[in-house]
Amino acid sequence: MTLSVFQRIAATILVFLAFTFGATAADKTPRILGWVEEGLLLPEQASVKMKLDTGALTSSMDARDLERFERDGEKWVRFNVELKDSKTAKAVSIPFERRVERNIKVRGAGGAERRPVVSMQMCIGDQVYDEQFSLNDRDKMIYPVLIGRRTLEHLGAVDASRTFTLEPRCGKRATKK
Q: How much is the average pLDDT of 162-174? A: 81
3-state class (DSSP) for residue 154: helix
CB atoms within 10 A of CB 97: 12
3-state class (DSSP) for residue 89: coil
In this structure, are strands 127-136 and 59-62 parallel, antiparallel, or unpaired?
parallel
At residue 99, φ and ψ (nearest 5 deg) are -75, 140
pLDDT of residue 118: 97
pLDDT digits (tens, 9 = 90+) for 99-157: 999 999 887 777 888 999 999 999 999 999 999 999 998 888 888 899 999 999 989 89
Q: Rounded to an integer, what distance in angstroms lies between the CA atom of residue 121 and that of residue 175?
A: 12
3-state class (DSSP) for residue 85: coil
pLDDT of residue 130: 93
How far apart, in Å, are the Cα atoms of 175 and each of 13, 61, 117, 145, 168?
36, 23, 24, 22, 12
Q: Rounded to an integer, what distance in angstroms lies between the CA atom of residue 38 and that of residue 47?
A: 7
pLDDT digits (tens, 9 = 90+) for 72-98: 999 999 999 988 766 677 888 999 999
pLDDT of residue 98: 96
Q: Residue 151: what residue type?
A: T
Delimit the domains of the chain by residue range: 1-29, 32-176
pLDDT of residue 15: 41
Phi-psi label, residue 124: left if phi above 0, alpha if psi -120 to 50, beta otherwise: beta
Question: Higher confidence at residue 132 or residue 4?
Answer: 132
- Is pLDDT at 25 greater than 70 in this prediction? no
pLDDT digits (tens, 9 = 90+) for 32-75: 999 999 999 898 888 889 999 999 888 999 999 999 999 999 99
At residue 78, φ and ψ (nearest 5 deg) are -120, 135
pLDDT of residue 109: 76
pLDDT of residue 69: 97
User: In sequence order, what DSSP letters do the residues of 92-112 get, joined into one string?
Assistant: EEEEEEEEEEEEEEEEETTEE
Nearest one of 76, 39, 43 to 61, comparing CA atoms: 39
**CATH code reported for the domain at 32-176:** 2.40.70.10
Beta bridge partners of residue 47, listed in sequence order: 40
